[in-house]
């Protein structure tokens, strides 16, 4: 038997604009995606038993409905091989959070199997498979932050520094479809691609992201889920000395994050928020200090 194990990162969206809607109903977007060091743990082992089996994963999700199983079956079919595989997935990234956990797991499954079985599928071929599984999957096959556009399939690397972040995930989860089908969703944003790639200094880009960009899904998410409003409020009410520079929802929610000026402040904020949740009967809320990842070197184990 052969085995490969990988840590699978979550992501946040520094901003997310909807620039239009295609005739087939898919929305066109522009966003900056950043991987962060909040990881699922993925292990794939060759097996004498036929087919793809899975342990772990989301509670209540049948293996055949899991994106990692769908990814594995799609790649094996394309490669015309019938090697048995067992996938063990330890979920740490919450679902329905706007953090891309399911898409990341699918992307890393494709890359890991390609490496484990020495299939030699090109990266573009893996991305094509991934795009059929979810709009965020192609991003996770990159290596660090990226400007993402189209329906998520256009991924352009973007150099970004490490950013100290605190993520607040309320108990409620939000179905992406509920946000994108909402009548109040703004779908006519102007493109900011030229601006994003036109800044000569990273500080200029981050200032633009903070002051002029937004997550256009957030107002709708706040209508659909009051806990998003509460999460924003928790971060914004932190004492001045450990307050975030700015606060925004990630993806289609329900997670909200704050960007901090230092890792020390982020850790202090994490501690204060956890304590506040304990005394406020918010013990089901998740609070986690993370850092954005300029590079995701673990990918080198799967795709060269």
Please identify which of the residues 70, 136, 265, 288 carries the catalytic annotation.
Answer: 136
Closest CA to 70 of 112, 130, 120, 136: 130
Q: Which of the residues 11, 91, 169, 299 is marked catalytic?
A: 11
Look up residue 1 and give its two tokens.
């038997």
Q: From CA 5, how far away is CA 44, in angstroms rounded?
A: 6
User: In degrees, to the nearest 5, what angle opens at C-alpha 274 toward C-alphas 270 and 278?
Assistant: 170
End-to-end CA distance of the chain: 23
Please confirm, yes or no, whether 136 is among the known catalytic residues.
yes
β-pairing, 27-47 vs 146-150, is antiparallel
Going 64 to 68 to 69 to 75, the CA torsion angle's sign is: positive
Q: SS3 sequence, 84-134?
A: EEEEEEECCCCCCCCCCHHHHHHHHHHHHHHHHCCCCCCHHHHHHHHHCCC
* Distance between CA atoms of residues 293 and 304, nearest Å: 19
DSSP three-state, residue 15: strand
Distance of CA 71 to the CA centre of its chain: 17
Q: Which residues have a catalytic role annotated?
A: 11, 136
């Amino acid at each position: 038997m052969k085995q490969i194990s990988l840590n699978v990162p979550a992501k946040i969206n520094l901003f997310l604009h909807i620039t239009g809607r295609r005739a087939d109903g898919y929305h066109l977007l522009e966003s900056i995606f950043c991987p962060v060091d909040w990881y699922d743990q993925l292990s794939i082992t060759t097996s004498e038993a036929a087919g793809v089996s899975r342990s772990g994963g989301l509670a209540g999700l049948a293996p055949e409905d899991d994106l990692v199983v769908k990814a594995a079956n799609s790649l094996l079919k394309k490669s015309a091989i019938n090697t048995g595989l067992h996938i063990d997935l330890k979920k740490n990234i919450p679902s329905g959070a706007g953090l891309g956990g399911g898409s990341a797991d699918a992307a890393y499954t494709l890359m890991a199997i390609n490496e484990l079985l020495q299939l030699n599928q090109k990266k573009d071929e893996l991305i094509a498979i991934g795009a059929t599984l979810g709009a965020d999957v192609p991003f996770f096959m990159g290596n660090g932050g990226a400007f993402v556009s189209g329906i998520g399939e256009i991924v352009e690397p973007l150099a970004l520094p490490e950013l100290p972040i605190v993520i607040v995930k309320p108990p409620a989860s939000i179905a992406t479809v509920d946000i994108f089908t909402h009548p109040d969703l703004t779908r006519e944003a102007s493109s900011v691609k030229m601006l994003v790639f036109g800044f000569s200094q990273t500080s200029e880009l981050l200032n633009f992201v903070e002051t002029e960009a937004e997550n256009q899904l957030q107002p709708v998410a706040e209508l659909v889920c009051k806990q998003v409003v509460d999460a924003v409020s928790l971060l914004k009410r932190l004492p001045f000395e450990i307050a975030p520079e700015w606060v925004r929802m990630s993806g289609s929610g329900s997670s909200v994050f704050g960007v901090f000026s230092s890792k020390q402040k982020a850790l202090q904020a994490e501690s204060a928020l956890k304590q506040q949740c304990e005394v406020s009967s918010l013990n089901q809320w998740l609070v986690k200090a993370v850092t954005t990842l300029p590079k995701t070197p673990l990918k080198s184990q799967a795709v060269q």
